[in-house]
Copies of this chain bind each other. A is one copy, B any other.
Amino acid sequence: MSYDHVNITWETRVTGVMELDEKLHFLAQEARELYLPTVVPVIDAPPTPLAFYREWIAPNKPVLVRNAFNHWPALSRWSIDSLRARIGEKIVTVAVTPTGYADAIAKNRFVMPEERRMRFAHFLDILADPTLDDGIFYVQKQNSNLTDEFRDIFADVDAEIDWASIALGRRPDAVNFWMGDGRAVTSMHKDHYENLYCVVAGEKTFVLHPPTDAPFIPYKYYKPGVYKKCGDGFEIVDCVDETDVPWICVDPLRDNSESIYGKARPITCTVKAGEMLYLPSLWFHHVRQSHGSIAVNYWYDMEYDIKFAYFEFLSKLLPSSQGTSN
């Protein structure tokens, strides 16, 4: 009840009446000043479960962890040749697009990739020589494909990240295997998961925004469609009877000076082979990668607690072009 404590908030710094949009922008700025890093911090060893929860999960802060999975056989066994020899004949699901953008905006639609079922060896052939096909190929099916279609190599990684499972008191909901073309891009979005993203080969570059940047990240509603190979090229087939999909309508790699997004301050982080990124729940992220990079990520369900309630409240305050969930 110390009414005279030092008030470190903007109360003492801002006078006068602020409009709602100013308050929203101030939230983003204050979050940066209060607790967010300007670059993703790096730690050289896995944290204890308690430290992981207290330092990163609870405050919803990303961290790059080195030396977290040096013991994985995958690091030495997942060469192209070895993968071909071991699982080349397996039929797997590959996302194919003409542009590299799967689950992204194209021609004023939200366009999902063609999901092509093919021998993994054929995928590896195209990866080795992209001129073999006019599509851009990316293994990215996020249905825990490493425990499903790729289960024969699942034993080359840990089934879960021990210290994360202990910290969170649960096991991962999904373990996903990612491998593909250097032109493949994952468009900006957010997930309702705590995400541990392990790069096994090559590198991945993330453009990140905390949830408090939501006021700078515009959404629009789009008709959903799917790419379909057609003769010499691809066509977009509309999904009939499906409702419009809210999706982020900016790309951080393009000129955004005309958009509210131009005012946002992205945090960019490159994750190299052998490194793990903890990507907190509800962080917006855009991902690109080196050609032939391989990654494994673990999705742990997030807590729908006070942070989530506040985020949903924030979303409700945004203009109707923003604040939708995806």
Flag the segment in A71-79, A261-269, A299-307 that touches B: A299-307
Q: For residue A313, give the distance in angstroms from its CB to the closest CB of chain B.
A: 4
Interface residues on A, range: 35 or more
Interface residues of A in 300-326 (CB under 8 A from B): 303-317, 324-326
Interface residues of A in 1-32 (CB under 8 A from B): 1-3, 5, 7-11, 18, 20, 23, 26-27, 30-31
The answer to whether B1 touches A186, judged by C-beta atoms less than 8 angstroms apart, is yes
Assembly stoichiometry (copies): 2
Residues of chain B with a CB closer than 8 A to A9's CB: 312, 315, 325
The answer to whether A142 touches B305, judged by C-beta atoms less than 8 angstroms apart, is no
Residues of chain B with a CB closer than 8 A to A10's CB: 312, 316
The answer to whether A304 touches B8, judged by C-beta atoms less than 8 angstroms apart, is yes
User: Residue on B with the closest CB to A12?
Assistant: B325
Flag the segment in A57-65, A125-133, A152-160, A249-257 that touches B: A57-65
Contacting A50 at CB < 8 Å: which of B1, B35, B49, B110?
B49
Q: For residue A248, give the distance in angstroms from its CB to the closest CB of chain B.
A: 10
Scoring A50, A53, A247 by chain B CB atoms within 10 A of each residue's CB, the highest score goes to A50
Residues of chain B with a CB closer than 8 A to A50's CB: 49-50, 53, 166-167
Q: For residue A113, give the distance in angstroms from its CB to the closest CB of chain B.
A: 11
User: Is there a chain B Cβ closer than 8 Å to A212's Cβ?
Assistant: yes
Residues of chain B with a CB closer than 8 A to A114's CB: none
| A186 CA to B2 CA, complexed, in Å | 12
User: Is there a chain B Cβ closer than 8 Å to A231's Cβ?
Assistant: no
